[in-house]
């Protein structure tokens, strides 16, 4: 049985006075999503633990049945998605060229220096390559003011903290050993701190910044990661899989775990391909609700949800397992980028437990018959597509929750 998972990125949310005390999903007129809810199983899905806010990358990684301990960091996923040639011995730090002023520390004016042209960054890049305490630092431009710092040397570790505080008006943070007290983490942290101060010195004096009204005068770093291999999606979950989306992040995640990837130019194109393609598991992603949430307008998010609902008519009668959920909650108010509430979940198919929920929203789904975590999703899909096996069955060299069809024969 084929499964389509319609992933409404950041669709779940909080309640707002502007929406009469309801969430955007509650307030919106969503006849197609409600039809699916009325013939399926509904509930809530917790991304990791209640109150823990996840990014799209880790939230998806967990949904695809991988553990937090296997996660290589957002920097690695981004680098793969942007088709960098990955040095598997190097440390990757996602970075941005920022605008700061020195005031007993490096006070952040812009996390991302605005309107830096590719030509300006090309001119700045050579001075960002240097060596410090046995480590070689190199800057790789990505887009706008974004890039990567690639660190090479001996005894590298990803147990170092971020320097980017994620909020303007804050100060660049000192990099520290992260949940590790090894000499390697201490030495590398010190070297990165020296590099960050070096970047301020050389960028502040650079001819590009001398002529700019808003200088790009410091590197900020985050998400240290070293590449590590993980078990491919098909071997872990027993299904051929396709991720359909329109972002480099998702392309990187798909490539990293061995899923095929299809890039769509419009959601309608992605939906058509999801229905037509021949895969066991199809993950159809739209970032539209998340993008609307970041505009901090509950009314705009309602409009976006209603627009999406009007486009999914063909999914209502899909003959297979249909899952609809979010990867995380994204609030339309406050300063948080994402938030830690559970998300609305529903599934419709031949092998599920139908309940009495009739609307797809966080509060209605809380009255449904299931509670699960992101990390439960693939096992849910395996079970609801009738692919599961008994837990105590030992097939091959490692534990699998699905019937293995390519088992090694005794000859």
SS (H, E, C) 75-127: HHHHHHHCCCCCCCCCEEEEEEEEEEEECCCEEEEECCCCCCCHHHHHHHHHH
Q: Can you state the angle between helices 298-311 and 31-38, rounded to 10 degrees?
A: 70
| % of the chain exceeding 90 in pLDDT | 95
pLDDT of residue 405: 86
Q: Say whether both 171 and 300 belong to one domain.
A: no
Lowest mean pLDDT among 30-34, 40-44, 167-171, 216-220: 167-171
Whether pTM exceeds 0.85: yes
pLDDT of residue 398: 87
pLDDT of residue 133: 97
Q: Say whether both 219 and 240 belong to one domain.
A: no
In a domain, 149, yes or no: yes
Q: Say whether both 60 and 158 belong to one domain.
A: no
Angle (CA) 395 399 403, round 5°: 50
pLDDT of residue 191: 98
The whole-angstrom separation of Cα 340 and Cα 375 is 15
- Residue 167 belongs to domain spanning: 80-225
Q: Say whether both 236 and 348 belong to one domain.
A: yes
Q: What band does 232 get if pLDDT is binned at 50, 70 and 90?
A: very high
Angle (CA) 112 116 119, round 5°: 145
Is residue 118 over pLDDT 90? yes
Q: What is the mean pLDDT of residues 138-161?
A: 97
Partners of residue 373 on adjacent β-strands? 46
In a domain, 159, yes or no: yes
Domain CATH number, residue 370: 3.40.720.10
| % of the chain exceeding 70 in pLDDT | 100
In a domain, 128, yes or no: yes
Last residue of a domain, one of 191, 206, 225: 225
Long-range contacts at 116-121 (CB < 8 A, ≥ 24 apart): 116/144, 116/145, 116/216, 120/208, 120/212, 120/216, 121/97, 121/145, 121/147, 121/216
Q: Say whether both 85 and 35 belong to one domain.
A: no
Angle (CA) 298 301 304, round 5°: 160
**Residue with token string 């899952």:** 323
In a domain, 75, yes or no: no
CB-CB contact of 57 with 249 (8 Å):
yes
Q: What is the pLDDT of residues 65-109, one digit of tens each?
A: 999 999 999 999 999 999 999 999 999 999 999 999 999 999 999
Q: E strand or H helix at 351, and its extent?
A: none
Q: Say whether both 281 and 159 belong to one domain.
A: no
In a domain, 390, yes or no: no
Q: What is the mean pLDDT of residues 389-404?
A: 90
Is residue 167 over pLDDT 90? no
- Domain count of the chain? 2
Q: What is the mean pLDDT of residues 205-217?
A: 95
In a domain, 74, yes or no: no
Is residue 329 over pLDDT 90? yes
Q: Say whether both 220 and 235 belong to one domain.
A: no
Partners of residue 323 on adjacent β-strands? 5, 347
Is residue 328 over pLDDT 90? yes
In a domain, 309, yes or no: yes
Is residue 406 over pLDDT 90? no
Q: What is the pLDDT of residues 357-389, one digit of tens each?
A: 999 999 999 999 999 999 999 999 999 999 999
Q: What is the pLDDT of residues 247-263, one digit of tens each?
A: 999 999 999 999 999 99
Q: Say whether both 42 and 160 belong to one domain.
A: no
Q: Say whether both 96 and 195 belong to one domain.
A: yes
Last residue of a domain, one of 159, 192, 225: 225
Could you count the other beta carbons within 10 Å of the beta carbon of residue 214?
Answer: 13
In a domain, 391, yes or no: no
Q: What is the pLDDT of residues 11-55, one digit of tens each?
A: 999 999 999 999 999 999 999 999 999 999 999 999 999 999 999
Q: Say whether both 350 and 261 belong to one domain.
A: yes
Could you count the other beta carbons within 10 Å of the beta carbon of residue 269?
Answer: 14
Last residue of a domain, one of 204, 225, 246: 225
Is residue 301 over pLDDT 90? yes
pLDDT of residue 341: 97
Q: Say whether both 60 and 109 belong to one domain.
A: no
pLDDT of residue 408: 85
pLDDT of residue 169: 86
Q: Say whether both 100 and 239 belong to one domain.
A: no
CB-CB contact of 401 with 74 (8 Å):
no
Q: Three-state SS string across 290-336, please?
A: HHHHHCCCHHHHHHHHHHHHHHCHHHHCCCCEEEEECCCECCCCCCC
Q: What is the mean pLDDT of residues 147-151?
A: 98
pLDDT of residue 78: 97
Q: What is the mean pLDDT of the chain?
A: 96
DSSP at 192: H
pLDDT of residue 23: 98
Partners of residue 100 on adjacent β-strands? 108
CB-CB contact of 369 with 43 (8 Å):
yes
The whole-angstrom separation of Cα 224 and Cα 238 is 31
């Amino acid at each position: 049985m084929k499964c389509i998972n319609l992933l409404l990125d950041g669709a779940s949310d909080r309640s707002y006075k502007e929406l009469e005390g309801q969430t955007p999903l509650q307030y919106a007129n969503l006849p197609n999503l409600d039809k699916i809810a009325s013939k399926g199983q509904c509930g809530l899905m917790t991304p990791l633990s209640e109150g823990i806010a996840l990014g799209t990358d880790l939230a998806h990684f967990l949904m695809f049945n991988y553990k937090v301990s296997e996660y290589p960091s957002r920097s690695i996923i981004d680098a793969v998605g942007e088709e960098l040639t990955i040095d598997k011995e190097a440390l990757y730090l996602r970075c941005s060229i920022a605008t700061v002023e020195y005031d007993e520390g490096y006070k952040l004016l812009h996390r991302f220096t605005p309107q830096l042209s590719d030509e300006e960054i090309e001119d700045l890049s050579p001075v960002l390559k240097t060596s410090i305490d046995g480590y070689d630092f190199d800057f790789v431009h990505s887009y706008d003011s974004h890039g990567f710092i690639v660190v090479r040397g001996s005894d590298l570790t990803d147990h170092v903290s971020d320097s980017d505080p994620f909020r303007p008006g804050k100060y660049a943070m000192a990099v520290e050993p992260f949940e590790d007290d090894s000499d390697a983490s201490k030495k590398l942290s010190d070297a990165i701190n020296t590099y960050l101060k070096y970047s301020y010195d050389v960028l502040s004096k650079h001819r590009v910044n001398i002529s700019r009204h808003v200088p790009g005068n410091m590197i900020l770093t985050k998400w240290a990661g070293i590449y590590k291999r993980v078990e491919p999606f098909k071997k872990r979950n027993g299904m051929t899989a396709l991720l359909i989306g329109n972002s480099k992040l998702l392309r990187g995640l798909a490539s990293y775990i061995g899923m095929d990837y299809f890039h769509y130019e419009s959601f309608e194109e992605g939906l058509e391909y999801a229905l037509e393609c021949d895969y066991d598991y199809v993950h159809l992603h739209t970032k539209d609700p998340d993008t609307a949430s970041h505009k901090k307008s509950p009314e705009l998010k309602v409009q976006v949800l209603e627009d999406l609902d009007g486009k999914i008519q063909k999914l209502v009668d899909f003959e297979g397992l249909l899952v609809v959920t979010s990867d995380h909650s994204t609030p339309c108010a406050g300063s948080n980028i994402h938030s830690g509430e559970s998300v609305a979940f529903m599934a419709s198919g031949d092998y599920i437990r139908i309940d009495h929920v009739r609307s797809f929203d966080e509060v209605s789904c809380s009255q449904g018959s299931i509670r699960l975590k992101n990390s439960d999703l693939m096992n849910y899909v395996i079970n609801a597509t009738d692919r599961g096996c008994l837990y105590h069955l030992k097939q091959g060299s490692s534990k699998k929750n699905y019937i293995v069809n390519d088992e090694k024969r005794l000859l």
